[in-house]
Amino acid sequence: MLRDNCALVVGASSGIGAAVAERLAREGFRVALVARREEELRKVADRINQRAGEDRALVFAHDVTCFDEVPALFERIVEALGGLSVVVYAAGVMPPVALDEYHFAKDRQMIEVNLLGMIAWLNEAADLFRRVQAGVIVGVGSVAGDRGRAGQPGYNTSKGAQAIFLESLRNRLAPANVRVITIKPGPVDTPMVRHLGRLPMMITADEAARQIVRAIGRSWGTVYVPRRWGLIMWVIIHIPSFIFRRLGMK
Amino acid sequence: MDMHESVAVPRSAPQPAGLRLKHIERVEGWGMAVGGLSHVFRPTDAEGVRAVFDLARREGRSVGLRGGGNSYGDAAMNTGGIVLDLTRMDRVLAWDPATGVIDVEPGVTIERLWKTIIGDGWWPAVVSGTMFTTMGGCAAMNIHGKNNYKVGTFGDHVVEFDFLAPDDGGVRTVTRENDPDLFHGAISGFGMLGCFTRLRLQTKRVYSGRLRVEAFDTHSVGEMIESFEERAPDADYLVGWIDCIKGGRGLGRGIVHRANYLAPGEDPDGDLTLAVAAQGLPDKILGLFPKSLMHLLLRPFCNNLGVRLINAAKFHAGVLHPRSVVYLQSHTAFAFLLDYVPNWKFAYKPGGLIQYQSFIPKEAAESAFEEQLRIAQGAGLPPYLGVFKKHRPDPFLLTHAVDGYSLAFDFRVTRRNRAQLWHLAEELDRVVLDHGGRFYFAKDATLRPDVARAFLPAENMRKFAALKRRCDPHNLLQTDLSRRLFGSDLAATMESAGAR
């Protein structure tokens, strides 16, 4: 009735989403690619299908802020794939925000794309997976959601709220045998962060995807990518606020 | 409410337009050991049932009927097809406290039933070990209680029913008199002929909300049978627990519980105990520990050693509390032992459990059950629970009941023991067939087709096949269990088996 090894990746046109989609396809998944830019999606799909020698990737152009479109599109995707066992939400934006800039439109865009779009998509996935008592939900968050930094209040908020939402889903869905994984990557070399320049300990999107796909196979809970960020963030989380304020972390 | 004071309120359910993703659900047997995906619909009235039949025909799918989902195995599953979940057809349509006759929809649970009638001094004539079974399921499986030997099965207390079959003949009212074949086939017919849309039941007059209960030790299967035979004539309920892990000289040791209704005036608090509130099961163990979490405490004991310890403690508890003591117990506490610890089955996670229950004629019961216990213990798969009951024959076509006894085993299922357990069940089946015994579809997860066709009387199978052709000529109604035992053309299979 529903085939195994079918995945849906939202935000698959570039960066981590595209890399995860390619990795999953390499592991034998049929993959639905969702993003706003159809042309970019087609390039990803072509790479996947050429490598696989068959039509393993399907393209669905969609703006994640068009929340009302999600239920019907979700159903169409599951029908087209013939099933669904993994959903990855990797869509995200981080427009440049100056330290003295308070820009509601930018903050709103981050909340809508990073958080509300995720809620719209993952609610659909959660409802299906709860009913069939199987499935893996992955939300790609960020270490930036662990503390409120001076440089990106809107982005930090969207990623922090993402983590709470995913934890709630995890607690709701665990009895139904559904795994919900929160991925918290450190800096990853993607178009989204190019404006920030070269960041410390940056990894490639493909390396992040490798670790995410490994987590899809076996993990529960929160997974830092790479793992050393778990230790780093543990330390950062425990820095008292009055000291953290003075460190000037952006 | 009065029988003539109709409370039927039309509740038009939206008609299903097609098979949509939102209808797909995993449907499991109660024991969690078997499950699969289906399109699930929950109609609220007979029109909704008919609409799902129509949808299934259009889509070329089969339909499996499901009530409370308390069948241990695959009897209420229809993997890949449509499951018609009747739990939303849950209205009490009429109740006459003067006669104890009640009209209910098929999704009414035993819990709803007893809560409706007990205040007026009535109790369901037959109840299962859980109060969450539905009337439709009870009738389709023709369930029995701990009083089977005395009052028969659930079907013996059905006065009439309204029935909607896929043949599209409309809803018909069926009684023992106007259509005896259909009456005796639909009850016990495990949902293969049609859907009950209303059942009229005769309930039992009681004068107290309590029963007088006594317990007795027995030291072998033979002793348990003797104890049942001795007490059956004047006991209203009898049930035995068997320590299935104990072998050697203690093989078959157990405890028998006997219960009797109280006569009028016998209970000084009679009226008070008939209140629904007086029947509530406690929600804490020893007043402290929430029972909803008890399954977590049970989990470490859900293995051979743990069960051995628990069983020994239970059996020897009589040293501290002499069995000869007679005590009063509420109907719910005595009847619904399975509900005493909510979700106790979760202690069997992740693999779940199966129940294996066989029914053996009286004269062969001792040797058959002893042999089954030895085989299971020898295989290293002792049952973790054994429940013993006495039965009597009944007129329903696919009945499980015999003039004899049943012993129900609970087996833990794990990924490692699954194949071995199914093989063990085959060996236990052989013992049942050798002793002229029967099986019960509500419990089954393991029977093979040849065994099912061997235990059912040929004449009954021929009659049931004729009913299937009449009520469901295109085999719309199927379940995983029906396909496992009789293929997708049940009538043809039963006809050929019945022609032997």
Question: In the CATH hierarchy, which fold is given to the domain comprising A6-247?
Answer: Rossmann fold (3.40.50)
Is A78 part of the contact surface with chain B (CB cutoff 8 Å)? yes
Question: DSSP class of residue B13?
Answer: P
Asked if B339 and B225 count as a contact pair (C-beta separation under 8 A), the reply is: no
Contact B24 A128 (CB under 8 A): yes
Residue B129 in any domain: the answer is yes
Contact A1 B26 (CB under 8 A): no
- In tens, the pLDDT along A14-46 reads 999 999 999 999 999 999 999 999 999 999 999
B25: nearest CB among A75, A79, A131: A131
Contact B38 A1 (CB under 8 A): yes
Residue B75 in any domain: the answer is no
Residue B160 in any domain: the answer is yes
B144's tokens: 């029995």
Residue with tokens 């007490």: B231
Is B395 part of the contact surface with chain A (CB cutoff 8 Å)? no
A75: nearest CB among B21, B26, B79: B21
Give chain B's domain count: 3
B17 CB burial (10 A radius; 0-12, 13-18, 19+): exposed
Question: DSSP class of residue B267?
Answer: -
A133: phi then psi, degrees, rounded to nearest 5: 55, 45
Contact residues on chain B for A6, CB-CB shorter than 8 A: none
Same domain, B217 and B257: yes
Contact residues on chain A for B28, CB-CB shorter than 8 A: 133
Return the residue of B nearest to A82 by Cα.
B21
Contact B37 A2 (CB under 8 A): yes
Contact A131 B80 (CB under 8 A): no
Cα–Cα distance between B244 and B388 in angstroms, integer? 11
Amino acid at the residue B135: M
Contact residues on chain B for A131, CB-CB shorter than 8 A: 24-26
Q: Indicate which CATH number applies to the domain containing B382.
A: 3.30.70.2520
Residue B247 in any domain: the answer is yes
Domain membership of residue B230 as a residue range: 210-273+282-335+341-447
Peptide linkage before A240 cis (omega within 30 of 0): no
Residue B23 in any domain: the answer is no
Boundary (domain end) residue, out of B206, B233, B265? B206
Same domain, B187 and B317: no
Q: Indicate which CATH number applies to the domain containing B169.
A: 3.30.465.10
Would you name the residues of A annotated as active-site residues? 155
Cα–Cα distance between B160 and B199 in angstroms, integer? 6
B154's tokens: 């659930």
Is B434 part of the contact surface with chain A (CB cutoff 8 Å)? no
Residue B25 in any domain: the answer is no
Contact A2 B24 (CB under 8 A): yes
Q: How do the pLDDT tens digits run along chain B, 500 residues long?
A: 444 443 344 455 556 778 999 999 999 999 999 999 999 999 999 999 999 999 999 999 999 999 999 999 999 999 999 999 999 999 999 999 999 999 999 999 999 999 999 999 999 999 999 999 999 999 999 999 999 999 999 999 999 999 999 987 789 999 999 999 999 999 999 999 999 999 999 999 999 999 999 999 999 999 999 999 999 999 999 999 999 999 998 899 999 999 999 999 999 887 899 999 999 777 777 667 777 788 888 888 889 999 999 999 888 886 566 656 799 999 999 999 888 888 889 999 999 999 999 999 999 999 999 999 999 999 999 999 999 999 999 999 999 999 999 999 999 999 999 999 999 999 999 999 999 999 999 999 999 999 999 999 999 999 999 999 999 999 999 999 999 999 999 999 999 988 76
Return the residue of A nearest to B23 by Cα.
A131
Is A83 part of the contact surface with chain B (CB cutoff 8 Å)? no
Residue with tokens 């157990």: B254
B223 to chain A, closest Cα gap in Å: 44
User: Which residue, among A76, A129, A133, would best test binding to B if mutated, counting the most B CBs under 10 Å from its CB?
Assistant: A133
B37 to chain A, closest Cα gap in Å: 7
Same domain, B202 and B297: no
Cα–Cα distance between A94 and A106 in angstroms, integer? 8
Amino acid at the residue B103: D
Contact B22 A2 (CB under 8 A): no
Smallest CA-to-CA distance from B163 within B470, B483, B385 is with B470
Asked if B221 and B252 count as a contact pair (C-beta separation under 8 A), the reply is: yes
Residue B168 in any domain: the answer is yes
A83 to chain B, closest Cα gap in Å: 10
Boundary (domain end) residue, out of B206, B223, B246? B206
Q: What is the ipTM of this complex?
A: 0.86
Same domain, B311 and B404: yes
Is A132 part of the contact surface with chain B (CB cutoff 8 Å)? yes
Contact residues on chain A for B85, CB-CB shorter than 8 A: none
B494's tokens: 């039963």
* B contact residues 61-100, partner A, Cβ 8 Å cutoff: 79-80
Predicted local confidence at residue A94, as pLDDT: 94
Same domain, B191 and B104: yes
Is B320 part of the contact surface with chain A (CB cutoff 8 Å)? no
Q: How many CA atoms lie within 13 A of B228 on its CB side?
A: 30
Pairing of strands B237-242, B254-261: antiparallel
Is A134 part of the contact surface with chain B (CB cutoff 8 Å)? yes
Cα–Cα distance between B134 and B91 in angstroms, integer? 11
Predicted local confidence at residue B13, as pLDDT: 53
* B contact residues 4-23, partner A, Cβ 8 Å cutoff: 20-22
Scored b (16 or more CB within 10 A) or e, A177-203 reads ebbbbbbbbbbbbbebbeeeeeeeeeb
Q: Which residues of chain A have pLDDT under 50?
A: none
Same domain, B224 and B346: yes
Same domain, B345 and B469: no
Cα angle value B479/B143/B402 (rounded, 5°): 105
